[in-house]
């Protein structure tokens, strides 16, 4: 443990970065299935009404939105010393304990979402909605627990901005790899089990989604075990500067002031960062959710394209994940976000103006590549901005990440529900095209405006240290003056 702590204090080792990076793979695999194929499965396979399928998405997003602030507060509270962490003797810190609890919830609930309603397949649709909603709520609580605990480890593993960006980049790299893996598995199963290549998705494909889910969960279990074995959770320290390799230890000063959640909520940049992160996730998630429906309803492509086009999207995202860290380092956060917004905006414009067979068969892969590249740059940069906002006030880092995720999940759920509710009941081939063009493009633009107007926040701990120094100087001056008066 001492060697691990020394490693964390300086340059992070390759094994630690790798084990940390795969700690979110189970979540990423489930999220890929959730955002890409949930509406496809319920609307096209189970034949749920479009509004009810969107309602299930809303239930999940609201459950996740409500769980994330709760989990964030509890993770931060436990980090300062909580007696219920019975796994501490086994090397589990409070954050890793929440990660383990969340993992078990995900494994116990997610498979049932993509299986037929057990014992109620012939029941009314509203009854099946209640059945699936129960598993969705458990799944989203577990997903939020894994996400927040995993993200909140970043400020504790390293005090350096560059090292934190590396962790975020490698975390996103494995997110992209997980999505690619899901689409490769999906394409393989669809390709091997389809007799006619131009068949579209329908009720006959239910068993295919079950196989995809089970294979993905098996891979996620292995990655979660590796994460818990290879990633130590550093004990809480005093104050660590984001730009210094040394811990700020000043024994003669009063204890520093803690940046509590209430104090974070009084900072204007808190809401700007939340808006920025919300817009970023809207662009990333809505493009992922509606690309398959756009392919199915607007372009009328075959079933395999519902795997190969998203695969192209995430292959592009994977390639850019290696570059985005360097772009952030040399160009800064704002220029990097502008670059990502331009890539995403180009994809949205291409969708709107793209027509014809050549577009449907070939150009759509260029569109998917732009969506993937833009998503990679925007997401990594927004996470970096969030980590910078937290700075050295890492004792409330989980609360900040939970608040960002609350805005993200709630906005995504409402957006999907609204989009599904306004869909026309008859044939409307341009509906999902317009949605991808205007909603995703507007989210990227609004996120860029939030980034441009964002003023960096000075770390509260740095302010506290300066305050304590001034306070000591005043006390010393007063004591010196009093001593002189007594001598006189």
Summarize pLDDT for 114-170 with one digit per residue, the tens. 988 888 877 888 889 999 999 999 999 999 899 888 888 887 777 776 777 788 878
Q: What sign does the CA torsion over 94, 402, 24, 218 have? A: positive
Summarize pLDDT for 219-270 with one digit per residue, the tens. 999 999 998 888 887 765 544 433 333 333 444 444 445 666 777 778 888 8
Q: Residue 57: inside a domain, yes or no?
A: yes
- Which pLDDT score, from 0 to 100, does residue 338 have? 92
pLDDT: is 218 or 3 the higher one? Answer: 218
Summarize pLDDT for 406-424 with one digit per residue, the tens. 888 888 888 988 888 887 7
Tell me 247's DSSP state.
E
Rank 195-199, 265-269, 331-335, 348-352 by mean pLDDT and report only the highest. 348-352
Q: Distance of CA 103 to CAs 30, 83, 106, 429, 486, Å?
A: 11, 22, 5, 40, 67
- Which pLDDT score, from 0 to 100, does residue 278 have? 92
- Which pLDDT score, from 0 to 100, does residue 395 have? 67
Q: Residue 9: inside a domain, yes or no?
A: no
Average pLDDT over residues 333-337: 88
Mean pLDDT of the chain: 79
* Residues of the chain above pLDDT 90, percent: 23
The yes-or-no verdict on residue 184 having pLDDT over 70 is yes
- Domain housing 184: 20-234+262-471
Confidence grade of residue 4 (pLDDT, cut at 50, 70, 90)? very low
Spatial separation of the C-alpha atoms in residues 376 and 327, rounded to whole Å: 12
Total length of the chain: 488
* Residues of the chain above pLDDT 70, percent: 78
Q: Which of 274, 298, 310, 291 is nearest to 440 (CA)?
A: 291
Average pLDDT over residues 356-376: 92
Q: Residue 484: inside a domain, yes or no?
A: no
- Which pLDDT score, from 0 to 100, does residue 378 have? 92
* Residue environment code for 8-25, b if the CB has 16+ CB neighbours within 10 A, otherwise e: bbeebeeebbbbbbbbbb
Are 326 and 314 contacting, i.e. CB atoms less than 8 angstroms apart?
Answer: no
- Which pLDDT score, from 0 to 100, does residue 457 have? 62
Q: Residue 55: inside a domain, yes or no?
A: yes
CATH number of 226's domain: 1.20.1250.20
**Bridge-partner residues for 240, per DSSP?**
247
Q: Residue 322: inside a domain, yes or no?
A: yes
* Contacting residues for 25 by C-beta, under 8 A, at least 6 apart: 174, 177, 178, 219, 220, 223, 224
Q: Residue 293: inside a domain, yes or no?
A: yes
Confidence grade of residue 488 (pLDDT, cut at 50, 70, 90)? very low
Q: Residue 31: inside a domain, yes or no?
A: yes
- Which pLDDT score, from 0 to 100, does residue 296 have? 84
Summarize pLDDT for 64-116 with one digit per residue, the tens. 888 877 887 787 776 544 444 555 555 567 788 888 999 999 999 999 999 88
Q: Residue 414: inside a domain, yes or no?
A: yes
Count how many domains the chain has: 1
In the chain, what's the furthest Cα-to-Cα distance? 104
């Amino acid at each position: 443990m001492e060697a691990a702590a020394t490693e964390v204090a300086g340059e992070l080792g390759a094994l630690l970065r790798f084990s940390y990076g795969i700690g979110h793979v189970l979540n990423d695999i489930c999220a890929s299935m959730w955002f890409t194929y949930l509406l496809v499965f319920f609307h096209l396979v189970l034949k749920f009404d479009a509004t009810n399928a969107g309602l299930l998405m809303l239930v999940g997003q609201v459950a996740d939105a409500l769980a994330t602030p709760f989990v964030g507060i509890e993770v931060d509270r436990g980090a300062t010393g909580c007696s219920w962490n019975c796994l501490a003797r086994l090397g589990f810190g409070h954050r890793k304990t929440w990660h383990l609890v969340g993992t078990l919830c995900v494994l116990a609930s997610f498979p049932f979402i993509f299986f037929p309603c057990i014992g109620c397949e012939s029941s009314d649709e509203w009854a099946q909605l209640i059945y699936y909603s129960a598993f969705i709520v458990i799944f989203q609580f577990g997903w939020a627990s894994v996400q927040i605990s995993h993200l909140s480890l970043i400020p504790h593993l390293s005090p350096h901005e560059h090292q934190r960006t590396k962790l975020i980049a490698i975390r996103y790299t494995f997110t992209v790899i997980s999505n690619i893996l899901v689409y490769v598995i999906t394409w393989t199963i669809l390709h091997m089990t389809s007799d006619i290549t131009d068949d579209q998705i329908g009720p006959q494909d239910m068993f295919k989604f079950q196989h995809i889910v089970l294979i993905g969960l098996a891979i996620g279990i292995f990655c979660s075990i590796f994460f818990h074995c290879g990633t130590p959770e550093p004990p809480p320290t005093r104050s660590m500067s984001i730009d210094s390799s040394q811990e700020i230890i000043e024994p003669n000063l009063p204890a520093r002031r803690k940046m509590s959640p209430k104090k974070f909520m009084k900072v204007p940049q808190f809401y700007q960062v939340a808006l920025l992160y919300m817009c970023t996730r809207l662009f990333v998630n809505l493009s992922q959710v509606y690309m398959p429906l756009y392919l199915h309803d607007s372009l009328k492509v075959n079933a395999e394209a519902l795997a190969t086009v998203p695969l192209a999207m995430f292959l592009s995202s994977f390639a850019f994940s290696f570059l985005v860290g360097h772009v952030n380092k040399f160009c800064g956060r704002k220029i990097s976000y502008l670059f990502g917004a331009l890539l995403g905006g180009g994809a949205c414009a291409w969708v709107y103006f793209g027509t014809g067979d050549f577009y449907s068969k070939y150009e759509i892969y260029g569109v998917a590549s732009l969506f993937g590249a833009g998503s990679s740059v925007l997401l990594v940069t927004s996470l970096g901005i969030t980590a910078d906002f937290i700075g050295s006030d890492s004792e409330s880092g989980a609360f900040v990440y939970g608040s960002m995720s609350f805005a993200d999940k709630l906005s995504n759920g409402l957006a999907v529900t609204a989009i599904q509710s306004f869909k026309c009941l008859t044939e409307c081939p341009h509906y999902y095209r317009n949605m991808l063009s205007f909603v995703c493009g507007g989210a990227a633009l609004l996120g860029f405006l939030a980034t441009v107007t964002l003023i960096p926040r000075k770390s509260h701990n740095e302010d506290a240290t300066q305050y304590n120094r001034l306070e000591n100087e005043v006390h010393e001056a007063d004591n010196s003056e009093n001593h002189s008066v007594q001598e006189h």
